[in-house]
Amino acid sequence: MALGVYVSRCGGRVEAALDVGDALDGVASLAAITRIFDDFFDAGVGDAIAADVAACGLDAIVLAGHSEEHYRKSLSANHLIDRIAAAGVNPNRIVAANILEQCALAHPGDRAGATAKARAMIRVAADRAETGDAVQGEVVEPMCSVMILGASAEAFVAAQRLLRLGYSIVLADREDGCARAGRARDMRATAAYVLEHSAATIVDSARLIDGDGFLGDYRLVLESGAGQTTYKVGGILLARPDHPEWVDELRRHFRVDVDDDGFARSLDPAKHPAETVDDGVMVMPLRKEGAQESDKIAAADAAVMALVLKLSHDTVVRYRHTSVVDETLCGGCATCVRTCAFGACYIGDDGFSHVDVRRCVGCGKCVVSCPVGARDILGSPHDHLLRAVREFAQVQTGSDKVIGFLCGGCGYPAADSAAATVEQRGEGYPSSFLPVRIPCGGRLDTLYILEAFKAGFDGVCVYRCRDGHCHNLVGNLDMDRRVNLLRTVLRSRNIDDARLRIVDISPFEGDHFVDTLNEVYATIGGLVNGKGGAQ
């Protein structure tokens, strides 16, 4: 395996807070090449890395700079990763090490601590890049069709735009919204254009009863007065993010976040107002109180633009982060089938468990539930997570050390958001907090917690989605149950279970992240013993 490790100074912000050379030293003996750039998004960086891939035969890359969440959301980051992938590196082996938000910006006054943490985070990312399963991407020709759920005014504007751009649309409403819009005076022209267009399918009194697929290739089953009909579309636009039944039905099949009111929301309402965790599912930006017609048009345009940017390619490549089954271990007990909330596991005629990759969202619940260890998740493999715990345990901190298991849907983005909190307050949390990203709380094997205490951590903090917010429906509750059961085991080993804390959090709650982490340190600091072994 030839590894390339690249560090971004992020315009000087990383270098101001930590020693980049020292942080890179940790992988000097592992990497075929290491390089430092001023900023990954400067012109020519993608070409330079692509040239290294060709010259050194690189097949695994670490990008140490921004957060993984940033690389997923930013178009500039998408271009960079596309360029590296085009040079021949499987995207499952291009891994981010977040040394900006969670090291440099989180610990501005602690250069030695931030450097040691960055060094460990780069080593952990290198391990994941090298052990990432190079599954071939699935090439899809995106369908030029969009399912729009909810016949709001914005939905008609979006439908009109899409039809004008040559897309076909299916516009579905739960009641008689499509018919009513045709009679309404205020949007008569737009509604008439949509309702009379030959490429528009209109379905009133609809329910979404099934769905699967991914960007460019979704299958949705609607039930209406006419019976059940299956539609194949390239993208989905939830035009009524405030409609509880649409939100509930959509979340049973696709990963859509909700806010405290239960309304569907985007990944980042400020910068990416329509995009959700699922690449091809958009939500209409929420209407503000007293919204004018121009606001509705702007919201519809934002959603259409986001969708068209995704669908207007000849092909898109889907690199799965789904569950996989080791048939040499599987005993066909069907525990995974009962565990999966998305109906993605089934027992085949061969008696073994199989994964429906169109339905699997990669939450990891089946991995944790399998009694014989026959499951794993591409992108978050078991062996890597164990090694990450052990690697972080090696960091010398000189103070209490806490490991965090951060759900990618809430805890990890909250830790990113905490960078802004630290900047505002001028103080943050100890650099001896070391973060392990997991795709969902449901992926957290209690073995990792036991391993952390065994390896010498003073505390373990698990950040999970608030009730009702889990992208994977019940991954947070499932984790909660298992981790709380572990408390008895901890006590039996003379480990004070006050050293283990579960925190509910939302992705934008950086202040809550900092506050709760400092509480954890205060609690641990007050414990006299209880780290296992004889007391």
Nearer to ligand SF4, 19 or 138 (CB): 138
Tell me the C-alpha distance between 510 and 493, whole Å.
34
Minimal distance, residue 383 CB to ligand SF4, in Å = 17
Q: Which of 86, 38, 33, 42 shows the shortest CA–CA distance to 62?
A: 33
* Distance between start and end Cα atoms, the chain: 45
532 near ligand SF4 (CB under 6 A):
no
Q: Which of 116, 143, 299, 344 binds ligand SF4 (CB under 6 A)?
A: 344
Q: Which of 129, 300, 340, 402 binds ligand SF4 (CB under 6 A)?
A: 340
Query: Structure tokens of 259?
Result: 């806010």
Nearer to ligand SF4, 1 or 333 (CB): 333
214 near ligand SF4 (CB under 6 A):
no
Number of residues counted as binding ligand SF4 (CB under 6 A):
28
Query: Structure tokens of 447?
Result: 């073995």
345 near ligand SF4 (CB under 6 A):
yes
Q: 114, 187 in Cβ contact below 8 A?
A: no
353 near ligand SF4 (CB under 6 A):
yes
Tell me the C-alpha distance between 94 and 46, whole Å.
13
The string of DSSP letters for 188-226 reads: HHHHHHHHH-TTEEEESS-EEEEEEEETTEEEEEEEETT
Q: Which of 85, 300, 302, 374 binds ligand SF4 (CB under 6 A)?
A: 374
Sign, CA dihedral 189-195-200-204, equals positive
Nearer to ligand SF4, 49 or 325 (CB): 325
Nearer to ligand SF4, 247 or 368 (CB): 368
254 near ligand SF4 (CB under 6 A):
no
Tell me the C-alpha distance between 92 and 362, whole Å.
14
Nearer to ligand SF4, 437 or 501 (CB): 437
Sole window of 82-90, 136-144, 335-343, 447-455 interacting with ligand SF4 (rule: CB under 6 A): 335-343
Q: Which stretches of 466-531 are assigned E, i.e. beta strand?
A: 500-505
Nearer to ligand SF4, 285 or 439 (CB): 439
Q: Which stretches of 116-250 are assigned E, i.e. beta strand?
A: 138-140, 145-149, 168-172, 200-203, 207-214, 217-224, 227-233, 235-238
Nearer to ligand SF4, 256 or 345 (CB): 345
335 near ligand SF4 (CB under 6 A):
yes
372 near ligand SF4 (CB under 6 A):
yes
Tell me the C-alpha distance between 460 and 499, whole Å.
6
Sole window of 1-9, 284-292, 328-336, 391-399 interacting with ligand SF4 (rule: CB under 6 A): 328-336
375 near ligand SF4 (CB under 6 A):
yes
**What is the C-alpha radius of gyration for the chain, rounded to an integer number of angstroms?**
24
Minimal distance, residue 448 CB to ligand SF4, in Å = 17
Query: Structure tokens of 98?
Result: 């977040």
Minimal distance, residue 382 CB to ligand SF4, in Å = 13
Total residues belonging to the chain:
535
Residues at the interface with ligand SF4 (CB under 6 A)? 322-323, 325, 330-336, 339-340, 342, 344-345, 353, 355, 360-366, 370, 372, 374-375
